[in-house]
Structure 1
């Protein structure tokens, strides 16, 4: 019963409050700033309300606090999520206030991301004594305190940026995150971690409901306040449960999106303007290659389902 409620309550809250929220951010003129160098097809999206991630994160935090037993691990995950949501909010606000596509400076984002990751890293390693990583088809492997501490920062900062990069097409980040969180809910159930299953179901219900408004053509965008926080949440949950490698597999699309940028940027600089992809993140490459936005989203979601099933197979 609790599992059903964890999924349904945030879903229903967001669906029934979404129109009111969208009307409000339209009224205060919180519209999307589209990059000048993005695909031309995205120019028509300028002015569509953003900061929709406030709906996702508010519902997630509210129901997590209401439904879960708040031990130190859960509190650390929620605090990490909140700090990254605040980072994203400031980033989105600055983009809108100054009417430009860039918000916080890179160094400002990095400092806040380090602070968010530090909350989880310190609690996981020095309070919860979580020093392991779960190897698929094998067992837990002890990394030691130093190894786990370093990995915590890499996973949380990496996953927050990865989800942020993935949030570039209508319904893409929300659709993939819904599949990822549902897969992790089942994974944690199989590992006898019910509190973490409930956490994932609350997030899954929130992102499912967000798709009601974010599916193509989107009525609202997630913004950094949603994508950065979701990525940090997934990373923090993975750290506490030693499921970092499972996040790498299940969130494979996040990884590919990030790798495409990591390949493109240095190659462009080294070769004086040559490109590996037409545009990155890689969803824009397929967009410029002629694939419809909806088709890219559906295919990426299907790939995520396949990766999730493969990861779950290793537990079964």
Structure 2
């Protein structure tokens, strides 16, 4: 893609997301779709209770609109849009239960995981059966395609579930998830361009602009949260887009922020169960810094910078 195409797609997505979010906020307030803060979370977050949630609907509506404007609706693009929407529906169900039951517990963990795995397996089957990618995965450093054979579909399911839940974990501070996701998506838009995966590139750029547009309302102090509706749609859709580039193994490099967020939770749980002690003040790790005395806005900016560094590092690895 040409530079002007990047600018046009991102700009359209910023405008669409801004408009859709501004329209959605009053509707969410009228419907009383409000965030309920978990009791075990940071006490300072209690003041955020009552903030409208499920803003991810506006984000994904923008992504769909701009993706269809940015390219012809090919089969791959259609599947990407549908897949992201299906993951968003998992998040929507979780959010809807929370707001209607007026607590912070939605779907059970096993229910979410089951739906995520089933969709992941289905997407893996689509890649094998209906694309020319086969069961190959591009391996960085050696710059070769490796055939994963019978392990490809389980691998795809694992990647999608891991990315979606990692993005979801990053949705804990105002502007954090949207900002980090925009940076991650921009990195993979460039990678998709390098692999001539045009639908994935356009889809990722639509995510970049949609997240930026949403941040006008989600930055501190947030007027609206994306909710699991947004984080699941973004994570699932992004993972699917990356898989269509064959560059899944670049995710740990470009998306190191998400890896760190997920690992902090895993380490915290394992450490507490085995030793009775917590390594971090609170997990995910962004709360660790927050409880250490850093301002919420400072933590968010630090993570944005780290995400940008990881993105550049990932692109340099691609060059190598």
* TM-score (normalizing by structure 2): 0.94
Distance in 2, matches of 1:29 and 1:115, equals 32
Counterpart for residue 268 of structure 1? 272
Change in CA separation of 1:115 and 1:69 when aligned onto 2, cut-off 3 Å? farther
| Larger deviation, residues 232-241 vs 186-195 | 186-195
Q: CA deviation at 1:89?
A: 0.5
Change in CA separation of 1:8 and 1:119 when aligned onto 2, cut-off 3 Å? farther
Query: Which of 298, 302, 306 is 1:299 aligned to?
Result: 302
Query: Which of 17, 20, 24 is 2:23 aligned to?
Result: 20
Cα distance per residue 1:9-56 (max 9 Å; x no partner): 221122234222111111111110100010011000000010011111
Cα distance per residue 1:38-94 (max 9 Å; x no partner): 001100000001001111111112222343233332222222211110010110010
Equivalence map 1:150-169=2 (5 Å): 150-169=154-173
Query: Which of 230, 233, 240 is 1:226 aligned to?
Result: 230
Distance in 2, matches of 1:266 and 1:307, equals 26
Q: CA deviation at 1:138?
A: 2.5
Q: Does 1:136 align with 2:140?
A: yes
Q: Does 1:171 align with 2:175?
A: yes
Q: CA deviation at 1:200?
A: 0.9
Q: CA deviation at 1:193?
A: 2.6
Counterpart for residue 56 of structure 2? 53
Structure 2: stretches of 5+ with no match in the other structure: none
Counterpart for residue 215 of structure 2? 211
Counterpart for residue 128 of structure 2? 125
Query: Which of 104, 115, 118 is 1:115 aligned to?
Result: 118
| Larger deviation, residues 220-229 vs 107-116 | 107-116
Distance in 2, matches of 1:56 and 1:68, equals 19
* TM-score (normalizing by structure 1): 0.95
Counterpart for residue 188 of structure 1? 192
Cα distance per residue 1:207-243 (max 9 Å; x no partner): 0101100011111001000001111112111212111
Distance in 2, matches of 1:130 and 1:255, equals 27
Q: CA deviation at 1:313?
A: 1.3
| Larger deviation, residues 37-46 vs 22-31 | 22-31
Give the number of aligned pairs. 315
Distance in 2, matches of 1:55 and 1:17, equals 5
Query: Which of 247, 251, 256 is 1:243 aligned to?
Result: 247
Q: Name the Cα RMSD after superposition.
A: 1.5
CA contact (8 A) 1:189 1:197 kept: yes
Equivalence map 1:247-262=2 (5 Å): 247-262=251-266
Distance in 2, matches of 1:69 and 1:289, equals 49
| Larger deviation, residues 209-218 vs 261-270 | 261-270
Distance in 2, matches of 1:307 and 1:264, equals 23
Change in CA separation of 1:76 and 1:183 when aligned onto 2, cut-off 3 Å? same
CA contact (8 A) 2:200 2:242 kept: no
Query: Which of 276, 287, 291 is 1:288 aligned to?
Result: 291
Counterpart for residue 206 of structure 2? 202
